[in-house]
Chains A and B, each alone.
Chain A
């Protein structure tokens, strides 16, 4: 691959950077500006992207402004309850129609010439109706805001500008089996605990993207401070070799990945004893999956298949990603009253050029969680993840370094390596869904992310 780069062999912009055989990705992908433009076109303008949650726009005419790649979109609820995603670009002269990032309005009126649009993006009209200032060449129907396809999944608002592409569920493939265990498992579902944190990271979006694809290995060293202080169950003198929570079941498909951590490992870490001899029902009773209270436990059996119940009891999914740019953490965290609660977190990485991205962080809870518990979860999330999170402040520190490495011409010839291969291996009692990697958390999931990246960029 290095030879190809040096000889300048004509290849598509991506293939010369990704060595499929040896599982290496040139650092140049973090730097190349032409590649970035291709990513905006092939990934961000074509994939299902997460924009937020429908509980952020609960009332008719509520809206938030979010990003699909570098395209601003208005995410709005119509009076009939429908959620629409409209490009925030006025069809008249290209002004932003919506100039705040959230609110409630019956009509989005462009401040430039007054063109007005409904929450669903349809064109109401231009001022001085009798003069027909939108002209006669295009009908009103053609002058609405450009629409994205919308799909609500567990209330999460996904949108895609590819009107001919696969449905959202098709794009998840067999990984939907696992995501359902996070997002669609109770009668009333999830809600956000407030608007997202937003940060600027001086790095290429893929530094965070590929890491979110179930890099478990970094926990030992990057998050060592938490092991040192026993926050994540380690002993003060934890050696890397004892590797708490490094063994589990990683699953992957279409660049989507999740780490399923054995409930027994978590329980041993938190409580110091084992669940080895318990039945599934007993395990779930003792330690419901993150986000599920004892009261909500009966609803799981209603919404989950027996196979899913077994996964939840044995090794619930806790961290991972949705390709291209969603990070997931549904983890156990101690709450301020001393109880073992959870933090339910989603991130997006929104590119702002090849050298920067905006990192957004939402906190969630099941709607039917008691209000005082929600307040504690909100606080525990802010303490653990995101802007000031004692876990994630260290993650945000590594990404800029990788982009800096790619600034150098020699650095750019170096590669990110995914050569620790576990290989697919599945216990007899684990469902045959997606690629399954049971054992030590190696590079298989992240490689799945890059293979999917490569496939999308070269199709």
Chain B
């Protein structure tokens, strides 16, 4: 087990940067980005837990007093394990998933990783930054977005599985025409 250090303000125990657990979490996120960027979606689906909750809330613009209350109950994604498999199945096993045919060239930059212990042994909360660039066909420009991911990972003995992902977008109006890609 890693050395645990309680941070001054938070009640959650932060997993120390550079500790074995931290490194394993970072490795998971980097490998996950690789799978997604390379469209290895069946392999990516194997990193999802069967009790997955995957939610990308709609964001609204509030006055600054309510800056921490900008995320809504409606989502751009509002998925569970079964619906994720439907998505992957459509992208991988049909000949007509047009919004990603030709596929976007997507690159996911994951950084600013912070890992926390939870009440459940072998489960960790992970906060990270996502910068995603997306280019399709012969577009001169990239569509891009940035977000903060709030994940929950479960160690199942030999690897992590994703049990919960909430992606907090930095946009109220998405600058891209769809999220036919995963965040």
| A residues neighboring B (CB under 8 Å) | 99-103, 193-202, 221-222, 224-226, 228-229, 231, 336, 358, 363, 378-379, 381-383, 386-388, 390, 392-394, 396-400
Contact = CB atoms under 8 A, between A and B. Distances in A.
Contacts of B72: 194-195
Contact of B179 (A201, A363, A387): A387
Contact of B80 (A101, A202, A336, A394): A336
A225 B78 contact: no
B172 A198 contact: yes
Given A202-B177, A225-B96, A229-B90, A101 B61 contact: yes
21 contacts: A101-B60, A101-B62, A102-B62, A103-B62, A193-B73, A194-B72, A198-B172, A199-B177, A200-B175, A224-B96, A225-B90, A225-B94, A225-B95, A228-B93, A231-B86, A379-B78, A379-B80, A388-B178, A390-B86, A393-B178, A393-B180
A201 B99 CA distance: 13
Given A101-B61, A199-B174, A199-B177, A390 B76 contact: no
Given A224-B96, A393-B99, A229 B180 contact: no
A407 to B, nearest CB: 13
B74 A193 contact: yes
B63 A394 contact: no
A382 B177 contact: no
Contacts of A396: 99, 177-178
Contact of A196 (B58, B61, B97, B180): B58
Interface residues on B, range: 35 or more
Contacts of A399: 177
A336 B96 CA distance: 25
Interface of B is mostly: mixed
Contacts of B80: 336, 379
A388 B180 contact: yes
B79 A379 contact: yes
Contacts of B178: 199, 387-388, 392-393, 396-397
Interface of B: 56, 58, 60-63, 66, 72-80, 82-83, 86-87, 89-90, 93-100, 172-180
A225 B66 CA distance: 42
B50 to A, nearest CB: 13
A194 B74 contact: yes
A368 B85 CA distance: 31
Contacts of A229: 86, 89-90, 93-94
Contacts of B172: 101, 198
* Residue in B93, B97, B175 with the greatest tally of chain A CB atoms within 10 Å: B97
A387 B169 CA distance: 13
Given A100-B62, A101-B60, A363 B74 contact: yes
A226 B89 CA distance: 10
A336 B82 contact: yes
B77 to A, nearest CB: 5
Nearest to B63: A100
B158 to A, nearest CB: 29
Given A103-B66, A388-B178, A228 B73 contact: no
Given A383-B86, A387-B179, A396-B178, 6 more contacts: A102-B62, A195-B60, A197-B174, A198-B174, A383-B87, A387-B76
Contacts of A193: 73-74
Q: Shortest 8 CB-CB distances between A and B: which pairs?
A: A194-B74, A382-B78, A224-B96, A387-B76, A225-B94, A379-B78, A393-B99, A388-B179
A386 B89 contact: no
A226 B86 CA distance: 10
A199 B74 contact: no
B94 A196 contact: no
Contacts of A381: 78
B175 to A, nearest CB: 6
B99 A200 contact: no
B70 to A, nearest CB: 9
Nearest to B97: A225
Contacts of A228: 93-96
